[in-house]
Amino acid sequence: MKRSLFKTIKQLTSKGGIEGYFAEKYDKFAKAVLIDLYKEIAGLVIKHPKPGKILEIGPGPGYLSIEIAKLGDFQITGLDISETMIEIARRNAQEAGADVVFKLGDASNIPFKDNTFDFIVSSGSLHHWKEPVKVFNEVYRVLKSDREALIGDLRKNAAKEEMDKIARKIDSFIMRWGLRHSIKEAYTKDEIIELLSETEFKKGEVKENPIGLEIWLKKSI
């Protein structure tokens, strides 16, 4: 039974987005476990100069964009490859009274013109990117000159005890499995630095925290 379940999850996530039942489960997990993290990231975003037009890549159920919207008058767009996640995010934004536009699209081919956004943010989607160099280059393209992006994700070599603390907060077997699987697909700091060297950004500031990475990028021309 478990083997069959794992196979189903892998088939769904291999398409690039979490759909259906698993998307609904992730929504509940994100709201229960990750909401404080989203509030913290939202605070970092609005501290930057004129983050008026913001793009979130891989918003999932939309909570990060919603938290940013609560903090000011911003023009926020969330771009996700999952149809179910877009539906959930729109529902959550409507319930919260948050002015956020969620669009279906692929981060490796962002459907916006060059130099569109003042700030770009992503939390927890990097390890899902099938073509990370291409996505980073798309981020560079649609980001305005002299503006920044913040990409956060899990860290492959995070301490087991720290991950266990998070796992104990999760009451869903599927989501606990998903957390472990995501860690295996994530990057180390050194891997990110090497990856960035292949992109238009060339480099960035990569910070480690107990379970993840905080990647700050700036488009300088």
Q: Domain boundaries in the chain?
A: 2-218
Kindly list the strands in the beta sheet with 205-208, ordered across the sheet, starting from the edge strand earlier in the chain.
Answer: 100-104, 75-80, 53-57, 117-123, 143-154, 212-218, 205-208
pTM of the model: 0.87
Give the pLDDT of residue 50: 73
Q: How many other CB atoms are found less than 10 A from the CB of residue 138?
A: 22
Q: Among 107, 108, 56, which residue's Cα sits nearest to residue 77?
A: 56
Site of tokens 């130099």: 115
Q: From CA 125, how far away is CA 119, in angstroms rounded?
A: 17
Give the pLDDT of residue 175: 64
Give the pLDDT of residue 4: 41
Q: From CA 216, how far away is CA 207, in angstroms rounded?
A: 8
Q: Which fold has domain 2-218?
A: Rossmann fold (3.40.50)
Burial tier of 164 (Cβ tally within 10 Å: 0-12, 13-18, 19+): exposed
Tell me the pLDDT of the chain (221 aa) as tens digits: 344 444 444 434 444 567 777 888 888 888 888 899 999 999 999 987 777 899 999 999 999 999 999 999 999 999 999 999 999 999 999 999 999 999 999 999 999 999 999 999 999 999 999 999 999 999 999 999 999 999 999 898 877 766 666 666 666 666 666 666 677 788 999 999 999 999 999 999 999 988 889 999 999 87
Give the pLDDT of residue 33: 84
Q: To 5 degrees, how large is the angle CA 121–CA 127–CA 133? A: 75
Its sign, for the CA torsion 96, 90, 173, 154, is negative
Give the pLDDT of residue 7: 43
